[in-house]
Amino acid sequence: MKIKSIRRMLLLSINGAILLLMLVTGGSTFYSTHHELDELFDAQLAQYARLVRHLLLEGPKEAINQEPVIEIPRIIEDGIERTSAQERHPEGHKYENKIAVQVWNTSGQLLLRSANAGTHPLQPMESGYHVVEFGGFEWIGFSLFAEDLNVWIFTAQREDVRGELSFHVTLDVLVPLSFALIPIFILVWLAVYWGTNPIRALSAKLADSDPANFTPLDMELPRELQPFQNAVNTLLAELKEYVIKEKRFIADASHELRTPLSILQLHTENLSQATSTAEIIEARAAIQRSTKRLSHLVFQLMEMQKLEHLNQLHKKSISLLDVISDAMAQIQSCNLDNVNWDIKINKNTLILAEPALFQCVMRNLLDNSAKYAPQGSVVSVEIEELTDVYKLSVTNQIVADTTPDLVRLGERFFRHTAHQDIEGSGLGLSIVAKIVELHRMNLNYQLLDGKLFIAKLLILKSGL
């Protein structure tokens, strides 16, 4: 069920529960009262029968053969509710008409009866209680056989007396409660209004907050609302981080694209002003190089932007050798042929990684080794198996007087001054660092004897 208003839902549910409890209380009271009255009146009927037997036993014997009638006062029931004192008339009580007595001998002769009992047997001549229809009403009767007098004594009471008394007792319980409903409803409304005050305060705080500020909420809230405040603060922190990344991306993109665009514009102007075939060919080649570099830069910027907002990886078991082969297939042939490759990876070496992203890692590491190594040197790729991980090493020689800055490797757009003539944007290792971070791997760079550059990567084994 869709809840449109918490306050309305609480008011309706609580008040509805109170009304339901009142109804249940009324039904329970009526049932228990009726049960107790049944027991009380059943006992009275038995007691009346024994009292009549005792009176017959103590009275003159000749009276047993007569048919005296016990008179009942004629008090008209007008349906008006009166107090107990008002119902006490000098001649008796109106409920006397709802109690009947008969005495029959075993020969079927009526010996004694109340005026309202009639001249036919009220109930069967069988000891115990009976429910009978008489005079258009249901009666609860008790039959007692007096062996010493050889007579049957019947006492009976109209069943509606019990229902009426049970109803009045239940009404006496519910009426005071009914008068208390209005103050109860008011108290419930006040409690709900007071209880939802923190929600309104939180809503007002959120409405007044500056969307560009991302200031976390710091309010004294009930325990139930603390998770909500924590969730809002987490969302604000994530939004702030997202906006910072977007701003950084825009700043980086605008800064890095400015130079190649200016160069491209310059070469375009040179092409338009060229007067010879040689100048045209040179300007066109320069435009192609600038366009290629610009395209590569935009591609890497897009890759970096995607990685910034990637939170979940779909890892699976893959062959490390297949990943390296696919990565080398994407390296430019001029770089690939610049060095000799020594790949020492077993075909059965399986790792756990996201295939496309890890291929990007290997492509950048291998491409860098090929680009920055001296021509004709060897780039070796080998692996060492540890307990839970593989240690992958990519090693290449470095050109003299171009010692890499290990501290700044992986920094966005950082390129060594000696490498400015080599094609690149300075984003490759930044992308590698981000992918490695997402995979929870470990990557570090080492310089051995000032001649060998080694990239060491710890990779999680497949199946762990």
| Domain boundaries defined on the chain | 6-71+93-174, 245-308, 316-460
Report residue 417's pLDDT band, with 50, 70 and 90 as the boundaries. very low
Please give the pLDDT value at position 233.
Answer: 82
Instruction: Look at residues 139, 169, 178 and name the one whose alpha carbon lies nearest to residue 32.
Output: 169
Cα-based distances in Å from 289 to 20, 190, 297, 375: 83, 76, 12, 22
Name the token pair of 238.
């994530």
Alpha helices, DSSP H only, in 339-427? Answer: 355-372
Output the DSSP codes for 267-296: HHHHHHH--SHHHHHHHHHHHHHHHHHHHH
> pLDDT averaged over the chain?
77
Please give the pLDDT value at position 199.
Answer: 80
Residues 445 and 443: their CA atoms lie apart, in Å, by 7
Q: How far is C-alpha 355 from the chain's CA centre?
A: 35
Residue 14 has pLDDT above 60, yes or no: yes
Output the DSSP codes for 79-141: -----TTTT-BTTB-GGGGGEEEEEEETTS-EEEEETTS-SS-SS-SSSEEEEEEETTEEEEE
Q: How much of the chain exceeds pLDDT 70, in percent?
A: 76
Which parts of 371-451 are beta strand (E)?
Answer: 378-385, 389-397, 442-448
Please give the pLDDT value at position 6.
Answer: 77
Which parts of 200-328 are beta strand (E)?
Answer: 316-319
Residue 349 has pLDDT above 80, yes or no: yes
Q: Which residues pair with 444 in a beta bridge?
A: 456
Predicted TM-score (pTM) of the model is 0.44
Per-residue DSSP letter, 436: H
Residue 366 has pLDDT above 80, yes or no: yes
Instruction: Label the pairing between strands 137-146 and 110-114.
Output: unpaired
277-308 and 226-273 helices, crossing angle to 10°: 180
Please give the pLDDT value at position 316.
Answer: 85
Residue 123 has pLDDT above 70, yes or no: yes
Which CATH number is correct for 245-308, 3.40.50.12280, 3.40.47.10, 1.10.287.130, 3.40.50.720?
Answer: 1.10.287.130
Mean pLDDT of 69-76: 63
Report residue 219's pLDDT band, with 50, 70 and 90 as the boundaries. confident
Topology classification of domain 6-71+93-174: Beta-Lactamase (3.30.450)
| Structure confidence by residue, pLDDT tens digits, 426-435 | 566 777 788 8
| Structure confidence by residue, pLDDT tens digits, 271-312 | 777 778 887 787 777 777 767 666 755 665 666 666 665 667
Please give the pLDDT value at position 422.
Answer: 46
Please give the pLDDT value at position 279.
Answer: 75
| Structure confidence by residue, pLDDT tens digits, 323-337 | 888 888 877 777 788
Please give the pLDDT value at position 61.
Answer: 55
Would you say the CATH fold of 245-308 matches that of 6-71+93-174?
no
| Structure confidence by residue, pLDDT tens digits, 83-96 | 555 555 565 556 67
Buried b (16+ CB within 10 A) or exposed e, 14-32: bbeebeeebeeebeebbee
Mean pLDDT of 143-151: 86
Domain 316-460, CATH 3.30.70.2740 — does that match? no
